[in-house]
Amino acid sequence: MLIGGTALLLGGGGLAAYATTALAGNNTPDTMSGHQQHTASAITISCPDVGERLRTVPRSAQLSVSKGLSSLDKQVHDAYHKMMGGSGADVLNPLKAQRQKTIKMMVSAIAKNTKRPSYLLKMSGCTTKPVDEGAGAGGTDSTKSVQDGWYQGQNQTQGADQNQDQNQQDQNQQGQDQQGQQGQDQQGQQGGQQGQAGGPSPDDFVDINNVQPNADAPPFAAPQGGNASTGTFTTECGRNEDGHFNSDNVIVTPGVSNGAHHTHDYVGNKATDAFANDNKLAASDTTCDNGDQSTHYWPVLRKLDGNAEQKPGAAQDANVGTTLTPATVTLTFRGSQVGQVEAMPRFMKIITGDAKAFTNGTKNANASWSCTGFEDRQLKDKYPLCPEGSQVVRTFAFQNCWNGQDIDSGNHRDHVTFSDQNGACPQGFKAIPQLVQRITYDVPQGQSFAVDSFPEQLHKPVTDHGDFINVMPDQLMSKAVDCINGGRNCT
Assess contact for 465 and 351: CB atoms under 8 A: yes
Greatest Cα-to-Cα distance within the chain, rounded to the nearest angstrom: 65
**In degrees rounded to 5, what are phi and psi of residue 85?**
-75, -15
User: Which amino acid makes up residue 282?
Assistant: A
Cα dist from 221 to 216, 311, 337, 422, 481, whole Å: 6, 41, 10, 12, 19
User: CA–CA separation, 343 vs 309, rounded Å?
Assistant: 42
Classify strands 328-334 and 295-299 as parallel, antiparallel or unpaired.
unpaired
- Residue 337, pLDDT score: 94
User: CA–CA separation, 237 vs 218, rounded Å?
Assistant: 25
Per-residue confidence in pLDDT tens, the chain, 491 aa: 222 222 333 332 222 333 322 233 333 333 333 443 334 347 899 999 999 999 999 999 999 999 999 999 999 999 998 888 776 568 999 999 999 999 999 999 999 999 999 999 999 999 999 888 878 653 333 333 333 333 333 333 333 444 444 444 444 444 444 443 333 333 223 223 345 567 899 999 999 999 999 987 666 678 888 899 999 999 999 999 999 999 999 999 999 999 999 999 999 999 999 999 999 999 999 999 999 999 999 999 999 999 999 999 999 999 999 999 999 999 999 999 999 999 999 999 999 999 999 999 999 999 999 999 999 999 999 999 999 999 999 999 999 999 999 999 999 999 999 999 889 999 999 999 999 999 999 999 999 999 999 999 999 999 999 999 999 999 999 999 999 999 999 99
CA distance from start to end of the chain: 49
Q: For Cα atoms 304, 357, 331, give the angle at the middle one, nearest 5 degrees.
A: 70
User: Which amino acid makes up residue 184?
Assistant: Q
pLDDT, tens digit (0-9, with 9 covering 90-100), for 278-331: 999 999 999 999 999 999 999 999 999 999 999 999 999 999 999 999 999 999
What lies within 8 Å, CB to CB, of 256 at 6+ separation is: 66, 67, 70, 248, 274
pLDDT, tens digit (0-9, with 9 covering 90-100), for 141-199: 333 333 333 333 333 333 344 444 444 444 444 444 444 333 333 322 322 334 556 78
Assess contact for 228 and 336: CB atoms under 8 A: yes
**In degrees rounded to 5, what are phi and psi of residue 421?**
-65, -20
